[in-house]
Structure 1
């Protein structure tokens, strides 16, 4: 499993209080918003804040956000593509 995807799974479990799930329970290719995890628009805001804080990646366009949050895999790809270079 990709390191970033595993990390994102752990963070989702933590920030969304999905305490009854494990990392292995989350399918990175499943629909993220409105899917089996029950993620709604409020949860998306929490995820956006986490992504900005932890990775320095801003998701500020609603159209882009819909594509980014299609699945955990698309979120991870977006973070990889937009993470500011380390100095």
Structure 2
């Protein structure tokens, strides 16, 4: 699970072009949107594409994304349970 967290953090930084941020800067339980990492709705779309391309997870219901993308911990839990790649 720790390897998946590190991989996911690196992918988020790369896909969202988060300059000056390292995987160590992103706390596992920190909010990704709002006051936490400060991501926005465009970033959410990029995360949906990332989940599809990298893990074979298609999010048909955007409301589910709100729960899945709360933190690295919630994303890793969802990926571990639903990945097809």
TM norm. shorter chain > 0.5: yes
Match for residue 83 of structure 1?
A: 83
CA contact (8 A) 2:30 2:37 kept: no
Superposed, 1:60-75 pairs within 5 Å as 60-75=60-75
Moved over 6 A (4+): none
- Distance of 2:68 and 2:39 partners within structure 1: 14
Counting matched residue pairs gives 85
TM-score of the two chains, using structure 2 as the length reference: 0.90
Question: Which consecutive unaligned segments of at least 5 residues does structure 1 have?
Answer: none
Cα separation, 1, equivalents of 2:58 and 2:35: 23
Task: Name 1:56's counterpart in structure 2.
Answer: 56
- Checking the alignment, whether the CA contact within 8 Å between 2:4 and 2:76 is kept in structure 1 is yes
Give the greater-gyration-radius structure (CA). 1
- How far off is 1:36 after superposition? 3.0
* Cα distance in 2 for residues equivalent to 1:54 and 1:47: 10
Give unpaired runs (5+ residues) of structure 2: none
